[in-house]
Homo-oligomer: A and B are copies of this chain.
C-alpha cells in the first residue's frame, strides 16, 4: 500500500508521500514515491505514485529517458510539453504504455495487477498551478475549488481530518501540520504505510522546485504530532455536549 496527498492551495501546491512498499508483511522496503522535474524559471513538475512498484519505476525511468535532450523521438517530453494538461496526457499515455507492456510480457496472471495511480502537480509559465489525478487507464481528472486535493493509496483513515481542516488560504506551515496529522492517522492504522515521508512545497509562480524535504521517523515535529493528536482528539471529544439517556 501507499499513501500520497496533493493539496492545491492559494499559495501553491503541497505534496506528501510515504515511502513504504511491501510484498506481504514480511517483505518491506523503502522506496521513493515522489519525483520532481524542473526547468528553472519556466516549470516545476511533481509526480507521486501508488501501485505496483515495477510499473511505477518503469514509468519514471521512461519519463526520465525521454526528458533527456539526447532523445530524438520528436514527441514532447515532460520538460517540453506546453502545458500541465499536456504533461498529464503524456504521463497518462506513458503509464498506459508501461502497463500494456508489462501485462504483455507475462504469460500468466500476476498476483498483483500491473497497475498504478498517480498524482501530478506543477506549474508552467503562462498558467496557474494545476493538480491532476491520473488513473491506470491513462485518463485523468483535475482538482477544482470543489475538490481541491487528491489522495491515492490508503486514503480512508486520513480523509476526515483533511475534509474538515483544509482551507485553500492556509499557510504552508499549516498544510504540513495538516498532512502530518492525516499521515499519522493512516500510519497508525495500516502497517503498509510508513515513514519516512517525502514533502514538496511548490510556491505559486516561482517556476522552480520549492522546498523538498524528507521527514524521518524520528523527526521531532512528527513525533510531537503523533503523540499529541490522540490527546487533542480525546479533548475535542470530551468538549462535545454529553448525551443524555433520560427521555
Contact = CB atoms under 8 A, between A and B. Distances in A.
A240 B233 CA distance: 11
Copies of this chain assembled into the complex: 2
A157 B158 CA distance: 8
Contacts of A160: 157, 160, 185, 188-189, 233
A242 B239 CA distance: 22
Interface in A153-202: 156-157, 159-161, 163-165, 172-174, 176-178, 180-181, 185, 188-189, 201
A165 B233 contact: yes
Interface stretch (A107-115, A124-132, A140-148, A221-229): A221-229
Contacts of A163: 188-189
B221 A159 contact: no
A25 interface: no
A211 to B, nearest CB: 7
A234 B174 CA distance: 12
B161 A233 contact: yes
Interface in A204-229: 211, 221, 224-225, 228-229
A23 interface: no
Contacts of A176: 243, 245
Contacts of A224: 241
Nearest to A239: B232
B232 A236 contact: yes
B237 A165 contact: yes
Contacts of A159: 157, 189
Given A156-B157, A177-B243, A233-B236, 10 more contacts: A157-B157, A161-B237, A163-B189, A172-B245, A173-B242, A176-B245, A178-B237, A221-B243, A229-B240, A232-B237
